Each structure stands twice: as structure tokens, then as C-alpha cells.
Structure 1
Amino acid sequence: MHIHICLVSQQLLANYIPIRMDKPDQVHLVSSLDMQKKGLTTRFETLLKQGGFNSVTHTGMPDAGMAEIQRFTRTLYETLTRQYPHAHLTVNITGGTKLMSVAMLDIFSAAGHAVIYTDTAKDTLERVHNCTLEPLPAVLGIEEYLLAYGATVHNSASWHNEWKNRAVKRSAAAELLARATQDKKLKALITVLNAMAMNALSPNGDELLAPEQAFKFPLTGEQLTLVKSLAAQDLFTLHKNRLNVTFVDAERTRFIGGHWLEEYAWHIAEQTGLNDVACGVEIDWENSRTHNELDILAVHNNRLLIIECKTVRFSDDRQKSNNTLYKINSLGESLRGLFGQKVLLSAWGVSPTMLDRAKTQGIKILRPHELAAYIQQWSGVTA
């Protein structure tokens, strides 16, 4: 029988990743009262249960006072060795306070049991008992990662085959629109198309109320080529006068209204070969009625990438830019952990002022044509 023993702390993944690696028969959590009050012990128990691991919790580990910590640890050791005399024990000393880690190391290693330490900054696991290092394998998916930070994924658009099939079918349209954002005249056209699509929809975007829309200016040759290409992919109908369009349904109209950028980002992340990618992710928070939707989430090598996609012109609305940065920053700080990354993917770019504000909050702002190279750099995956 193999047992992992973990000190509960705020960084649950440093304990959970080695559990996924070693696949022990049982996990014993050692928790202080403070970790219990913060809900981290219960969260870790939930994470283990969903991962298919049996767990036992030992509460009451003192937060301070070496003598008290040692007494608790000795009692724990005696209890475990009495109940499981033939078990192989592995103690993870990554969590807890330094004094807790020292006590666990002293008492368990002196008896010849395995001791490990997770260095997430260097993506390595150190097996302290025999002084060996091994790389951390990519074991985490999006759901596990978010659960470790108190968020439960209830749904994702990209989980559904119908959504995937649509997205794959119109990937060329999403790429065409993304490329067009680099051209001044085509950028202006996309802005107009976005507005026409939004005018065609109900306020919540669920219904197509006014399918007939019209350009208020004659299209240039390049603009007409783009519009014809989009119409050829059944995203709308272009009338013979080359000014009027008829939107087909609410879903395709939402795509023209801005959802194309989310699908483009999803395609890029998928094509890069990241471990887990999702679009339109709906999450709830533990002990809260708060509900959020995130445009793109990706996990690669046990790290999280959060991408918020926007087709609005931030220079026209300072409040909107502040709200967007606040959302990305607050969600990112809650979810990303120590080494995740927050990205705002803006179709049009942002002002220098907004760029500076984003930088101070650790938010990377990218244009569509920059995304592929950035994801490769972030993930270490080469084309």
C-alpha cells in the first residue's frame, strides 16, 4: 500500500501534482485550523475525490511552536505506522509552514520513509530521501486546475461537438477577420459589420430581430472581397446592390458581432498543441453565488493561460477599458496561481495609457496576429 502525506496550504497543486504522478492508494491530509477555516482543507478533499483518490484528514496541526508541531507530527507518525505497518509512506513537505516541513522531514525521514518537495517554479520534483530530481509531467487539465483555486467548471461551449463542428467549418472566416484587423480600411469595415450584427440582435443576443441591415457607404474593392468571402461561408446573404445584407440566424450573427475573435483564439491555442483548451467556459465559485464566463482557458505543463477577447475600441470608452482590465485582473489573480498568465486579445489594440495600466497588473495585451507566436513562447511548444 502506498500513502502520500501532505501538508495543506494555499498552493494545493504542489501537493496534487505528485499525487497524480505517483497514484498512491491513499492520501492523508495534515491540516492546521487556519487552513480549515479558509476552506482549503475541504477544497483539497474535493479535488482528491474528483480525481479518484481516497483521502483521510488529520486536523489540529499547530501553526507555530516547534515543540507542539513535533509532538503532533510524532503522534501522526505513530498512528500511521500502527494502522498501516506495511505501507510505503511518501511525505510531501512542500506545503505548510517551514516549521511543519522541518518536523515532518526530521521524523519521517529518520524512520526511512520517502520525502518529496515540489519546485513548481522549475517544474521539478525533488525526492529528498535519495537526492534525485525528476521533471513534473503535464498532468493537469482545466477543471482540476480551477478546482484547486475554488472554481468549478459547469460548462464550456467547446465541449460540445455541435460547437466544435461549427467552429472548424468557419475557421477560415475567423482567420480572415483576424488578418483583416491589420488593414486600416478593412478594420473600419469589421467595425461596421460588428455594429450591424449587434443591431440585428436582441439586447441579450439570443434572438435575431432585425435581420435586414445595410452598409451606409459603398464598399471598396478590398472590402467587397472580404464581405463576399464571408457571405460565401453562409454567415449572411449579400444582396445584389452590394449594400444590403440579411443575417441568417442569431448564432451566426453573434459570430460576426465579435465571437469570431474567441473562435480564432481557440483555433490558435488548439493548433499550437496545448494540453487542454476550452472556449466559453462557465464557472461558479465555492461558497458563493458568483458566476463568471471566460472566453479562453488553456492549461499547458500545469500552468494556466487566461485570454479575454474584445472587439470593442477601448480608446472610445475609458470606463469600458477600466472595467475590462479589472475583470481580467480579478479573475486572473483568483485563478492563475503563481505562474499563470493573463492576456487581453484586442482586435484593434489599445491606447498607451491602457497598455501601461495593463502592464502594472501583469496583463499582456496582444493583437490577433501576435497571438500564435506568444502562445508558442509561453508554452515552449515550437511550430
Structure 2
Amino acid sequence: MLQNTLEVSVVKNLDFIESGVHICVVANQVVPNLAPILDRNLKAKRVVLVHTADFLQKAKDLASAYSNYQVKTEFFKIQSAFDIVSLRKDMQRLFNFYAEQKPLINITGGTKIISLTMFEKAKEYELPVYYVNTDDSLSWLVPDVESVYHLEDRVKIKPFLTANGFEVVVNELPSSNKLLRQVLDDLIANIDGYKEAISQLNYYAYTASSSLKSVSLSENVEGLRKLVGLFAETGLMKIENNKLIFKDEDARFFANGGWLEEYLFHQIKQLGSKIPKIQDNLCAVEVCKKTNSVKNEIDNMLLCNNNLYLIECKTKRFSKDQSPEGGVSSAIYKLDTLMRELGGTFARGMIVSIFELSKADYARAKQYNIKIVSLSELKDIKRHLTSWLS
């Protein structure tokens, strides 16, 4: 006969895990159903995803993400997320079918009443129960474990986006050219003096979109000539017959703002040894929702402690339009939307601009959990990134 209560005992290890089966409830937040499944100590081989009809697509997205790690999926539909009578019947069916397999029960997702009815049944069948905390740790409710368990950070960006219903369409690989990285370091160190020349470089790179050859340079471009000279040894661009000539389309993209994206990528990569919680880092990413063809571009994105961080890089001046559709406000609202769609509640954003932004811009961005780094602050970008990621 099954007991209604469990004897309380403190467990110091995970020897109580007898199975590779986890039962999870599908919800909007994917990390609680992704991070524990990828933790090798929790031994997941198969996941049963409990879902209502409204969350079937979300369940399928999670299953697609699991497949990247050779974890199999089964689906279990419940009729209601709120009706207690219906839920108790569904939970009885669920545990009648799976209890003998000694599954681990994840009660993090779903409505509170789903969590309570699952916990009620799990205790009845003496099965391990866990809850994933917002700080990415895991607490065991059954058995009584004396401390929280810190999950492995094994999630990568592409499976993370897959679980959220997106796929990576394009991901540009940044250059590994050491000379180029040195040039970028010199550029950032003197960013105050180069900002106007960078603005001119953006313009002439834009005019070269069809032929890799810009329109003729105007007379007052001494700063631009000096900037192009800085890149001369890299072979990406040169001035010939008073026109700016680019080596190829990648070089033109680089000159038209791509250099800042690449600089940020390498700064984050270097931080990896100091911040081991950084799991993944991508540059020049284009993502598309699986259910439509609308594409979104993200300059830099990284996963740190299973949370998504998005960075928007700006080498052009923002317009002075103060309306929600213009200027810095537009960039803030766009980034906020992407944060919520791609990363959920705990996603964070950053806008990096080579031009100085106003105190009002900083205050507006802060309201949306977006950090701004502008102009001379770029010289200390690693400190700003470290503070942001902590």
C-alpha cells in the first residue's frame, strides 16, 4: 500500500535518483525545463512533457531542443490548468502510467494548482520532486536535501532559441585576425577622436553597397583618411583615386558598423575565463520565428547562467526624434521586444553607442532593464560587461 507521507531524511548526494525519466510541466519560461534536463548528474534520458492544448507548440519546441542532446520526449495532455477535479483525474492517469519508472518530478512550470496536484501525487508515490529557482539553482522538495543544487550551465544559444520557438538563420563568424583585433583596440582607446571619422566611414561604406567602391570623397575627410590608414595593414579597405575601395562585401559590412559587433564579441570571449558562467556567445545573428518568416537581427547575444543577454551596437548617430518611434526610444523598444520574445522574463539588454547619449536616454533604458554604454565608457567595456552580467 502506498504511504501518504514520507519519512524525512537528509540526503547528502544524488544516489536517490533511480531513473532517467523526468516529468515536467510546460510553461512560458523554458530554462526550468531545459537546464535540469541537460545537467549530467540528473541523468535525463527521457522527458514527459505535461501540457494543455494551448501549450502543445511550446512542448514541441522543447522536444526539438532536447533532441540536440539525444534526450527523447513524450507528451501528456491535461484538460485544464485550473480545474482541480479535472487535474486530479489527469494526475492520477499520469502517475498510474509512469510511477513504476521512478521518474523525477519537476514542479516548477505551470499554474500553482498544477504544481500542488503534482506534488501531492509525487509524495503519495514516494517520488523525487524538485523546483528550479530563479537563480538557476535547484531545490529538492522530496527527499529532504540539506542544500540547494547548482545546475550545470550546459545550455547553448541555438537550443535555447529552439526551445523558445526560434531558429538561427544566419550567424557570422568573427575574424580571428590578431592584427585586426589590435587595430580595434587602438580604435576604441581613441574613440573620442575617431567618432566623426567613423560616421563618415559609415556613409561611404553605404554608398559602396553595389560596387564595393564609394562615391568620391569630399575635401574635409582628414579624419577619415587617418582612420582608413589605421586599417591599411589589414587589407580590408584603401583609398584609391579619391574613392574608398573595399576588399569584399564582408569588408564593407565590417566598415559599416560590423567592427563594433566584432569588438564586443572578442571582449566577451576574453571575459569567459574570468566569468565561467558565460556559456555561449554569438555575433551578427539573424533569427526567425518558426511560425513565420519575419527575421530579426541581433548584433551580439550570449548566455550567462542560463539567462539570455542581447547587445545592440550603434556606430551611427541616433536621430533627435523623442517619439516612441524615433531615436534612442525606438532602439530601446525594439530591444525590449526581442528580450521578451527570445529570452523571457530574465533576459537583459545593452545598447553600445560610439556617440554620447543623454541622461534621459540612460533613465529610459533602465526602466526596461537595458544598460547603455556610450562613447568614452567603451574604453572600460570589460568592467561594464562584468557588472552587467553579475
Question: The TM-score by the shorter chain falls in which range?
Answer: 0.7 to 0.9
C-alpha distance in structure 2 between counterparts of 1:351 and 1:342, whole Å: 18
Query: Which of 74, 83, 89 is residue 56 of structure 1 equivalent to?
Result: 74
**1:260 Cα deviation (Å)?**
0.9
SS at match of 2:286: strand
Partner of 1:257: 256
C-alpha distance in structure 1 between counterparts of 2:131 and 2:384, whole Å: 31
Q: More deviation in 348-357 or 19-28?
A: 348-357
- The runs of 5 or more residues in structure 2 that have no matched partner are 1-18, 273-277
Counterparts in 2 of 1:349 and 1:51: CA distance versus 1, 3 Å: farther
Partner of 2:62: 44
The answer to whether the aligner puts 1:280 opposite 2:284 as a matched pair is: yes
**1:142 Cα deviation (Å)?**
0.5
Query: Which of 379, 383, 387 is residue 369 of structure 1 equivalent to?
Result: 379
Q: More deviation in 189-198 or 267-276?
A: 189-198
Identity, in percent, stands at 26
Q: CA RMSD in A?
A: 2.4
1:297–1:305 CA contact under 8 A, matched in 2: yes
Q: Superposed, which structure 2 residues align to 1:148-187 within 5 Å?
A: 148-158=163-173, 163-166=174-177, 168-181=178-191, 183=192, 185-187=193-195
Q: Superposed, which structure 2 residues align to 1:328-343 within 5 Å?
A: 328-343=335-350
**1:44 Cα deviation (Å)?**
2.1
Counterparts in 2 of 1:186 and 1:284: CA distance versus 1, 3 Å: closer
Partner of 1:269: 268
SS at match of 2:231: helix
Partner of 2:229: 228
Question: Which AA in structure 2 matches 1:153?
Answer: V
SS at match of 2:287: strand
The answer to whether the aligner puts 1:192 opposite 2:200 as a matched pair is: yes
Q: What is the TM-score with the length of structure 2 in the denominator?
A: 0.83
Aligned length: 357
Partner of 1:134: 149
SS at match of 1:336: helix
The answer to whether the aligner puts 1:115 opposite 2:129 as a matched pair is: yes
Partner of 1:124: 137
Q: More deviation in 263-272 or 314-323?
A: 314-323
The answer to whether the aligner puts 1:99 opposite 2:113 as a matched pair is: yes
C-alpha distance in structure 2 between counterparts of 1:300 and 1:148, whole Å: 17
- The runs of 5 or more residues in structure 1 that have no matched partner are none
Q: More deviation in 354-363 or 336-345?
A: 354-363
Counterparts in 2 of 1:208 and 1:78: CA distance versus 1, 3 Å: same
Partner of 1:219: 222
1:154–1:282 CA contact under 8 A, matched in 2: yes
Partner of 2:51: 31
Query: Which of 26, 32, 44 is residue 14 of structure 1 equivalent to?
Result: 32
**1:320 Cα deviation (Å)?**
4.2
Superposed CA deviations along residues 273-318 of structure 1, whole A, max 9, x for unmatched, are: 1321111112110211211221111112111110011111114555
2:204–2:244 CA contact under 8 A, matched in 1: no
**1:208 Cα deviation (Å)?**
0.8
1:30–1:61 CA contact under 8 A, matched in 2: no
**1:231 Cα deviation (Å)?**
1.7
C-alpha distance in structure 1 between counterparts of 2:122 and 2:387, whole Å: 41
**1:238 Cα deviation (Å)?**
4.9
Q: More deviation in 21-30 or 289-298?
A: 21-30
C-alpha distance in structure 2 between counterparts of 1:98 and 1:320, whole Å: 42
Superposed CA deviations along residues 328-363 of structure 1, whole A, max 9, x for unmatched, are: 121112112222211111111223343333233322
**1:247 Cα deviation (Å)?**
3.8
Q: What is the TM-score with the length of structure 1 in the denominator?
A: 0.85
Query: Which of 82, 89, 94 is residue 71 of structure 1 equivalent to?
Result: 89
Superposed CA deviations along residues 193-238 of structure 1, whole A, max 9, x for unmatched, are: 3323223333xxxx4143x743522737xx8765433223323335
C-alpha distance in structure 1 between counterparts of 2:167 and 2:72, whole Å: 20
Counterparts in 2 of 1:197 and 1:311: CA distance versus 1, 3 Å: same
C-alpha distance in structure 2 between counterparts of 1:244 and 1:89, whole Å: 68
